[in-house]
A and B are shown apart, each in its own frame.
Chain A
Amino acid sequence: MEKERAAEELSRTNEILQSILSDMGDAVIVADKDENFLVFNRAAQRMFGAGATETRSHEWSQRYSLYLPDKVTLFPRDQLPLTRAIRGEEVNDLEMFVRQKQAPQGLWVRITGRPVRGSNGEVLGGVIVCRDITPLKEEEFFRAGQSRVLEMIAADAPLADVLTSLVLLMEGQAEGLRCSILLLNRDGKHVRHGAAPNLPEAYVKAVNGAPIGPRNGSCGTAMYMRRPVVVSDVMTDPLWADYRELAKICGLRACWSTPIVSAQGDVLGSFAMYRQEKRGPRPEENRLTEIATHIAGIAIERQRQQEILREREARISLAAESADLAFWILYPEQNTAWMSEKGRLLYGFDSNLPLTCDLILSRVHPDERAAVKTAYDRSCALYGTFESEHRLLLPYGKTRWVIMRGRCLKDEEGNLLETIGVTLDVSAQKQADLQLQHQREEMAHRNRVSLMGEMTASFAHELNQPLTAIANNASAARRFFERGNLDPELLQQLLQDMVADSQRAGEVIRGIRSLVRKEPSVHTLLDLNSVITDTVRLVSSDVLNRESVVTIELDPQLPQVNAALVQIQQVLLNLIINALDAVEGLPPAERRIIVSTRSDKGDVAEVSVRDFGTGLPKDRPDKIFDHFFSTKQKGMGMGLTIVRSIVEAHGGTIVAANAPDRGARIIVRLPAVRGQAQTVAAA
């Protein structure tokens, strides 16, 4: 009775167990030591496509289509989880790929196995529990696929490759799904092919270049309306009227399209799903569309931005190259820099040398480096722009003259982010300028030397006066001394006078030297009235020698000018000596010259030298400023040319005209220094 009840209970327990085994979703397989299947539940039959058979483990992989995760290698017999469990091993979370008739796409299975032991612990067989993890695996692969596409975008892969990978990824997610991406041209009106690796070529070609609009298929309409367009049956939908025949030929029946929109809300293109049967999208397909449009948006937008950048850079580079400009960007915070090829050539940097701000600065000539750096810092801080003309000292000691111009970009807080600018090589121009200036200086110097020749009498007089006084004083001192009546006070007086006269002689010599010396001219504030007075006094002896009279008529209100003293003296001397030459042939009483000054509205200081000679050539009075024009026997014809170049270098003008009654008048106008008008109390 007892026994019977126990057997009945066991049988009942067995029934419950069988019921659980047959209803559970996980596959359970039990085999004895001799590889006979004891349990092979319903889930196991579904999962492996067949029930328990008489086969032994060396046939299992073949029989039940068991593969390693590479999907191609049959699972080796000794690694099969059931054989391992029968061997007495524990198997945890082993993954297996199963491809059988009922599941041609294959299944992913995760397996746990344990040995079955008797009461003494001996192994009687093995049990495995298998779980279908295909959806998990697919999601994992899909995510990995998305990551791969995003990595391609990040690595700046060509847009066509990125979009093709994206389309293939999406198509892999559902059976019979075909996808395409179209791009909207920047005109916002026409589409062009983006990616459609599995659509018929004829269809792709027909769509490329088509306009968008309110009735232009699924994609053209979606881009135009800026919203998803679902066409479940292209054969009947009015939107497809124009494309129906094409769709028929290509075997496309349903098309659902969604616009791809940028972060700023601009339509960039569309992502479409095609099916060969008529139907609308399922939720999982809508989810795919959402992911696809998002990723495609990122890819297209990034490519557009880079296109814009490249275009901008190309345009600037083109402009820079054609203008012979070196183009550069400095990032002072990071101490890095970029330079166009032309710039690298100019600065003597190899094409692939990484540049820094310091490296570029190091090319500036050492004499000017500190000044350029200070000017850069100051100018950027104060004005946001920078301009400098300086020399570069290149490797091997080569020097170039350049002009550097830059503009600073700052963030909201005013921190300097970068300076963008250009460098222009002005060496050739500078060389020519320097040469010309040198020639001009050389000519001006010769002119001054020849002026000296015209003024020997004046210089002799100027020197002889103090020398005479010195000689007389010395002689007087000796005589007083010889007579024994040299009063110490008198001696002191004589010596003092001698010293004063020596200094006076020294001044005269210095004056001559400054006119003859070759020295860069220094501009200072000058009062032309006193320069004229001094200069006329300098030539006074020659004026007397020539039995002529120079009268000066000065405007006490004459404003000051910014000029080089020696050069202005040179101008005056040339004009006065020319005037003296002009009156030479006249009777002494008529040998008159008037040097006068006049202030013109306070803007201009005007000097006029007027003679009463025979006047200038009537047809073209200003011919006298031409090179080698001379009416004089001994003249070189360079004096007035030099005078004009000096006046013009001072920003002034010079004109020559015949005076109404007789003689010539030369008028020099120099720009006045504002606010410096002389304040001389009217007498």
Chain B
Amino acid sequence: MSDPGQTEGKEVCLVDDDLSVLKSMHYLLASEGFKVRTFSKAEDFLAHASTHDVPVVVTDIWMDKVTGLEVLARLCAISPNTRVIVITAREDLAARATAMAIGPVAFFMKPFDDEKFIAAVRGALDQS
């Protein structure tokens, strides 16, 4: 297991329109010592990404106003170096294929294995 200290200072962004999921992921990452910034609206995150350095973002792929795929597409333009981890509550192979084509580093079905998820976030941070 990597040293938690290494990841301190680097911020993980969380985007999910479901507030309880967003909050629980915040706790989960905080329990591992990650610094976390949460967004319940995709636009807010994109605005943040256009002015800040975002090493890693964890985003839901289906949200009310903007789909996760749109977020991915626009993020590619704004911040091409941001590592993306996609989480989704739906099994949708087509969406998954599209998402992977755009280039996220990992894809998780809700509910997911916490160890693998944290490992993925840590890995993404390390690579950034």
Contacts and interface: CB of A to CB of B under 8 A. Distances in A.
Interface of A: 457, 460-461, 464-473, 475-480, 483, 490, 494, 497, 500-501, 504, 540-541, 544-545
A541 B20 contact: no
Interface residues of B, number: 24
A490 B31 CA distance: 11
A460 B23 contact: no
Interface of B: 18, 20-21, 23-25, 27-28, 30-32, 62, 64, 67, 87, 89-92, 109-112, 114
Given A464-B110, A465-B21, A472 B91 contact: no
Contacts of A494: 27
Contacts of A541: 62, 89-90
26 contacts: A464-B89, A464-B90, A464-B110, A464-B111, A465-B20, A465-B21, A465-B110, A468-B110, A468-B112, A469-B21, A471-B112, A472-B21, A472-B24, A472-B111, A476-B31, A477-B31, A478-B31, A479-B28, A480-B31, A497-B20, A501-B20, A501-B24, A540-B64, A541-B89, A541-B90, A545-B92
A68 to B, nearest CB: 123
A580 B40 CA distance: 28
B37 to A, nearest CB: 17
A470 B89 CA distance: 14
A540 B25 CA distance: 23
Contact of A476 (B20, B24, B67, B110): B24
Main secondary structure of the interface of A (DSSP, over half): helix
A251 to B, nearest CB: 120
- 4 cross-chain pairs, A with B, having the tightest CB-CB distances, nearest first: A472-B24, A479-B31, A464-B89, A476-B27
Contact of B24 (A461, A464, A473, A540): A473
B28 A472 contact: yes
Contacts of A473: 24, 27-28
Contacts of A470: 24, 111
Contact of A460 (B24, B30, B67, B89): B89
A504 B21 CA distance: 12
A604 B91 CA distance: 42
A461 B21 contact: no
Given A466-B20, A467-B110, A504-B20, A472 B25 contact: yes
Given A464-B89, A472-B24, A545-B92, 4 more contacts: A468-B24, A475-B28, A476-B24, A500-B20
B30 A476 contact: yes
Contacts of A480: 31
A475 B31 CA distance: 9
A515 to B, nearest CB: 20
B92 A469 contact: no
Contacts of A479: 28, 31-32
A461 B20 contact: no
